[in-house]
Chain A
Amino acid sequence: GAGVSQSPRYKVAKRGQDVALRCDPISGHVSLFWYQQALGQGPVEFLTYFQNEAQLDKSGLPSDRFFAERPEGSVSTLKIQRTQQEDSAVYLCASSSWTGEQPQHFGDGTRLSIL
């Protein structure tokens, strides 16, 4: 596709449910990043990133309830188990080429609300 695509655009879940958020990066982009942004356009907080299928850094994942994968080096899924109210946020995905000094291209994000 022409840009980074994320789905669903909005997700409402009850506390304790599991959710899965999908990111489809720009074709050919080796690097893929997940960020969390507080509702109301707060800071962009790093969660994790991939080079192809390898997860190189997951230091930003807030707890072991958060899990990300990119099994074939393209589409990525961010999974949150046993959701809590504090998980309510916008989850942004971005992709870029591997070489440095290149911009990251963002998707529209998934707005997650936990009731």
Chain B
Amino acid sequence: GENVEQHPSTLSVQEGDSAVIKCTYSDSASNYFPWYKQELGKRPQLIIDIRSNVGEKKDQRIAVTLNKTAKHFSLHITETQPEDSAVYFCAASEDTGNQFYFGTGTSLTVIP
């Protein structure tokens, strides 16, 4: 089965700086890679996703890049703000059943 690894487990940045979170996956059949943000006590919410036929996708301050050859994908947050502080989870999906394999999460703290 699929195995997703996520790094780092914790990340602290100064407000205005960039943050990068990286994930690797093992199954080359995986074709969909969503990122979720979970604030304390709240549900995980989708913030961006990327499909295997695309190398990069951007939405305002958030971008995701995918390298299928190396089997890794990354989340980039620019001009970080205190409200970006949360736990971020990556995931990979490989079949039409849409079962997700989650990374272990990154706790991001943006220091004002």
Contact = CB atoms under 8 A, between A and B. Distances in A.
Interface of A: 31, 33, 41-44, 46, 49, 51, 56-57, 92, 96-109
27 contacts: A33-B99, A41-B38, A41-B40, A41-B87, A41-B107, A43-B103, A43-B104, A44-B44, A46-B101, A46-B102, A49-B99, A51-B97, A57-B99, A92-B44, A98-B97, A99-B96, A99-B98, A100-B95, A101-B93, A102-B98, A103-B34, A103-B46, A104-B34, A105-B46, A106-B44, A108-B42, A108-B43
Interface of B: 31-32, 34, 36, 38, 40, 42-46, 49, 51, 87, 89, 93, 95-105, 107
A57 B87 CA distance: 27
Given A98-B98, A106-B36, 10 more contacts: A31-B97, A33-B99, A41-B38, A41-B40, A43-B104, A43-B105, A46-B101, A100-B93, A104-B34, A104-B98
Contacts of A105: 46
B78 to A, nearest CB: 23
Contacts of B38: 41
A92 B89 CA distance: 14
A28 to B, nearest CB: 14
Contacts of B46: 103, 105
